[in-house]
Amino acid sequence: MRRRTADQGCQVPGERRYTSRRFATERPVKLSVFAGTSLDGFIARRKGEYDFLPAGGGEPHGYDEFMASVDTILIGRNTYEVVLKLPGWPYAGKRVVVLSHRPLDLSRAPGPAEQMSGEPSPIASQLAATGAKHVYVDGGITVQQFLRAGLIHHITITRVPVLIGDGIPLFGSLPHDVKLRHLGTRQYKSGLVTSEYEVVP
Ligand SMILES: NC(=O)c1ccc[n+]([C@@H]2O[C@H](COP(=O)([O-])OP(=O)(O)OC[C@H]3O[C@@H](n4cnc5c(N)ncnc54)[C@H](OP(=O)(O)O)[C@@H]3O)[C@@H](O)[C@H]2O)c1
């Protein structure tokens, strides 16, 4: 899948346009989650280690295609700190927005990055107003916050066949149920199982 042109927005045949009453602008923007978890739902161990996930992402399971479809990465500070320790900058060519309530030294990032802070809804509005079409939301606390605010449209989870018992969860408490439409599940020889869901508005 190639990056879509601006006037195609995020829409593909059969898919709705992601305008939302919650956004101050009428610009379409889609917010997606793409995460790898243990079977019991953890994205990392308590201290941040992710040794239980296959090295290098493991067997190809759609990450490259997903990344090609996003223009903006929205990550929490904890994820940013982990990414800084990687040998390369995995977000080359993307707009990167790091969330933190405290001043960040963004000059440590090997690529351009900006900081935002505040409630999810104004952040989503600001991203939409400044041209974001498809945003990759990443980091446990960050994903949970945007889900609670009803701002996530699409979720792809790849489950790794391991139980780790404790760790940083992808999902957390919610003020109400979030209904999902199952779009499909792919299974891979290595044991990875990737499921895609659309959040029912
Ligand atoms: N398996 C996977 O697919 C996957 C994906 C991503 C990350 N991870 C792992 O998950 C761990 C990080 O996740 P996490 O749940 O600890 O945290 P996170 O979401 O990456 O970061 C949380 C931090 O982001 C800041 N933040 C979040 N929302 C904000 C907002 N609206 N306004 C201002 N600041 C905001 C706060 O930082 P301040 O305290 O500075 O205010 C908060 O403490 C890492 O170990 C990473 O490796 C795994």
Question: Ligand 1 centre and the CA of 152: distance in Å?
Answer: 16
Instruction: Please state, for a pLDDT cut of 90, what percent of the chain lies above it.
Output: 85
The tens digit of pLDDT for each residue in 57-90 reads: 899 999 999 999 999 999 999 999 999 999 999 9
Best residue among 141, 144, 158, 160 to mutate for probing ligand 1's pocket (most ligand atoms within 8 Å of CB) is 141
- Rounded to whole angstroms, how far apart are CA atoms 56 and 96? 21
Tokens of 57: 């992402």
Bridge partners of residue 36, in order along the sequence: 158
Best residue among 104, 142, 155 to mutate for probing ligand 1's pocket (most ligand atoms within 8 Å of CB) is 142
What architecture (CATH level 2) is domain 24-189? 3-Layer(aba) Sandwich (3.40)
Split at pLDDT 50, 70, 90, the class of 180 is: very high
The tens digit of pLDDT for each residue in 13-45 reads: 334 555 444 444 445 899 999 999 999 999 999
The predicted structure's pLDDT at residue 15:
43
Q: Is 173 helix (H, G, I), strand (E, B) or coil?
A: coil
Number of residues written out for the chain: 201
The predicted structure's pLDDT at residue 154:
98
Q: Where are the domains of the chain?
A: 24-189
Query: How many Cβ atoms from other residues are within 10 Å of residue 172's Cβ?
Result: 12
The predicted structure's pLDDT at residue 20:
46
pLDDT (mean) for 159-169: 98
The amino acid that residue 46 corresponds to is R
Q: Is 140 helix (H, G, I), strand (E, B) or coil?
A: helix
What does R_g of the chain's alpha carbons equal in angstroms?
Answer: 16
Question: Is pLDDT above 60 for 91?
Answer: yes
Question: Ligand 1 centre and the CA of 7: distance in Å?
Answer: 32
Dihedral sign, Cα of residue 27, residue 69, residue 159, residue 195: positive
Instruction: Please state, for a pLDDT cut of 70, what percent of the chain lies above it.
Output: 87
The predicted structure's pLDDT at residue 112:
94
Q: Which residue would you say has higher pLDDT here, 5 or 52?
A: 52
Average pLDDT of the chain is: 89
Task: Give me the phi and psi of 120, to 5 degrees please.
Answer: -55, -40
Strand 30-38 relative to strand 42-44, pairing:
unpaired
Query: How many Cβ atoms from other residues are within 10 Å of residue 149's Cβ?
Result: 16
The predicted structure's pLDDT at residue 151:
97
Best residue among 40, 101, 144, 151 to mutate for probing ligand 1's pocket (most ligand atoms within 8 Å of CB) is 101
Q: Which residues' Cβ are closer than 6 Å to ligand 1?
A: 35-36, 43-44, 48, 50, 53, 75-79, 82, 99-102, 117-118, 120, 138-142, 145, 168
For 60-86, letters b (16+ CB in 10 Å) and e give ebbbeebbebbbbbbbbbbbbebbeee
The predicted structure's pLDDT at residue 13:
36
The predicted structure's pLDDT at residue 18:
53
